[in-house]
Amino acid sequence: MKRNEIIESSVQDKLKYCIAFHEAGYATAIYLNNKAKNFPSVFFQIMLEDLNSKPEEDRDSHAPHEYRIAKVEGGRLITTTPPFISGSLHKSTDDNDPEAHLIEDYMIAFEADTINQLIGPLAEAKHVADVDDEPFDQRLINLEALKNYGGDTDIALAVNYVQRFFTYRQQQDEKLHELFLAAFNFINDRANWAAITKLANYILKSNNNVISAEEVASLVDEAIMSTERSRIASDKAAILFVDDEVNVLNSLRRLFHSEHYVTYFASNGVEGLRILQQNAVDIVISDMCMPEMNGAEFLARVVMQWPETTRILLTGHTDMQSTIDAVNKGRIYHYCNKPWNNEELKLLVRNVLEQKSR
C-alpha cells in the first residue's frame, strides 16, 4: 500500500469512528432522555451505508459530515411549528389560557429535542478527546466548538429555539448555556458513556443497513445494566495502580491481594484514564516517573475529570521540584517514597477510605 493510500485509509478509519460516536450519542439520548422524561415513543432508526462503497469523487475528507456511514433518521418530538407560536416566551400569562399551556408543552419538547441533538457532536468531541488523550473539559469544548464535530445543524436548532421563545440576548445566552450543560452532563455520566460506546462499536461492526429503535434500546439497556452491576459489585472500594514497571505492579498486586478491594492496574497514564472512564475508582496510586505522561500530568487529568477520586503519588525521585509540581497540578492527597513500607501504604489506603466514608 502506498503512503498516500495508508494516510487516506487512516483518515477514513478515524472518520468512521467519529461519525459512529456522533450518531450513537444522538440515538442513545433519544432513547434514554425521552424515556426518563416520560415522553411518548417516537420513531427513529439508524441508517447505515458502507463508506468504502462511495465513488472516489464523492469522498471529501475536508467535509466529513457531508456524507455519513450512519445517520439517525427520525427521533424528533417536534417536527413542525404550530401557527400560534410567536417570537416571545409566552403570549399569555393566564394559567387558564389553553394556548399558553400548549406553548409551554411545545417548549419542553423542543428543549428535549435540542439537548438530544447537541449530545451527538458532544459524543464525537469526547471520543476525539479520548483518542488524543486530552481532557474532556467544558472550558475547552463549548457550544461554538461543536462546529468542528459536525454540530452546525445541532447548534442552529438550539439558536432557533432560544430566538423563538426568548426576546432578550441575555435570556437567549443563559438558555443556550443551560441546554449545552444538560447535554454535557449526559455525556459525562459513566453509564451513558458506556451505552454510547457500546452502540458506536455496534454501528461500526454491523452488516445491516438499518439499526432499529428496538435494537438501540436493547444495546443501551444492556450497557446501563452492566454498568449498574459493576457499581453494585464495587461496593468494595476500588483502587487503581499506575506504574510503567511490571515488577512494581506485581508487588502492589501481591500486597493488596488479600485486602477486600477491587483493584485495577495500568502500565501508563493513557491506560489509567481508560480504566477510569469505564469504572468507578475511589483511589488512584500513581508512579511519578513514567514515559509520555508523568504522574503529575496524569493526576492533573484525574482531578479535572474525577475530582472525587483520591490521588496518591509514588515517587522515587530525589528531585523535590517534581513532587511539588505533582502536588500543585494533581492536588494529591499524599505522596510516598519508593521503595514504600508495605504496612504504611496499606494504612494510608485504609485512612483515606475511612475519611471518604464519613
Please state, in angstroms and rounded to a whole number, the distance separating the CA atoms of residues 120 and 147: 12
* pLDDT score recorded for residue 163: 86
pLDDT above 90 (res 43): yes
* pLDDT score recorded for residue 330: 52
200 and 143 in a common domain: yes
309 and 169 in a common domain: no
pLDDT over 70 percentage in the chain:
79
CB atoms within 10 A of CB 46: 28
316 and 185 in a common domain: no
12 — pLDDT class (breaks 50, 70, 90): confident
pLDDT in tens, 64-114: 444 458 999 999 998 765 554 544 444 444 556 556 667 778 888 889 999
pLDDT above 60 (res 308): yes
Structural domain including 324 reads 235-357
* pLDDT score recorded for residue 334: 83
pLDDT above 70 (res 221): yes
142 or 100, which is more confident?
142
Q: By CB neighbour count within 10 A (0-12 exposed, 13-18 middle, 19+ buried), where does 305 fall?
A: middle
What does the block give as the cell for 353? 477510605
pLDDT above 70 (res 62): no
119 and 55 in a common domain: yes
What does the block give as the cell for 294? 508523568
User: Of the candidates 227, 247, 268, which is a domain's last residue?
Assistant: 227
* Coarse DSSP helix, strand, coil percentages of the chain, rounded to the nearest 5 percent: 60, 10, 30
252 and 219 in a common domain: no
Number of domains in the chain: 2
323 and 222 in a common domain: no
pLDDT above 60 (res 54): no
* pLDDT score recorded for residue 46: 96
Please state, in angstroms and rounded to a whole number, the distance separating the CA atoms of residues 61 and 179: 30
Please state, in angstroms and rounded to a whole number, the distance separating the CA atoms of residues 223 and 242: 26
What mean pLDDT comes out for the span 27-56? 82
**In the predicted model, what is the mean pLDDT of the chain?**
81
210 and 285 in a common domain: no
C-alpha angle 28-34-38 in degrees, rounded to nearest 5: 145
- CATH number for the domain spanning 320: value is 3.40.50.2300
